[in-house]
Amino acid sequence: MPTPEESLRVAQQLTLAFAQRSAEGFEKLYADDAVIWHASTNQTQTKQENVGLLRGVFALMSAAGYENVTCLPTPEGFVQHHVVGGTFTDGTKVPGLNACLVVTVKNGKITHLREWFDPVQFQEVWKRMGVAL
């Protein structure tokens, strides 16, 4: 079990990697066998699949960040609620997306990340990526 301090450190690194639009930051945070599950699709991704998705999202944005972050350590890692925000490369504001993460941390790495959000809130991002809802 991670310590609360270790879990919160990983949560801060995750938030920073998103703000820096750094797929490599996520790659460093994920364990090699990490599993990322999205409630919006009820599908899982591997570390490499998720890092690839993040590269695509970050390519659309000139700025990104988590706003109104609430993060609580758990015995296995942390739970975080935030609002995804940012700016597309054309200067258009990214619609706010309320998201909740439940994360398992082992040895300072994310081994399991479960994410809940309403995909309709992120529709403009999916449209720009060519993903059908």
- State pLDDT tens for residues 13-22: 999 999 999 9
**Residue 124 maps to a domain:** no
**Residue 71 maps to a domain:** yes
Report the half-sphere exposure of 96 (CA within 13 A, side-chain side). 7
Query: Quick check: helix, strand or coil at residue 4?
Result: helix
Report CA-CA distances (Å) from 62 to 12, 24, 70: 21, 17, 24
**Residue 126 maps to a domain:** no
| pLDDT value, residue 133 | 52
Positions of the chain with pLDDT lower than 70, given as ranges:
131-133
**Residue 129 maps to a domain:** no
* Token pair 């059908």 in the structure block, residue: 132
Tell me the two tokens of residue 10: 């990983």
**Residue 35 maps to a domain:** yes
User: Which residue range is the domain that position 27 belongs to?
Assistant: 4-119
- pTM equals 0.91
**Residue 82 maps to a domain:** yes
Number of domains making up the chain: 1
CATH code at position 104: 3.10.450.50
| pLDDT value, residue 47 | 98
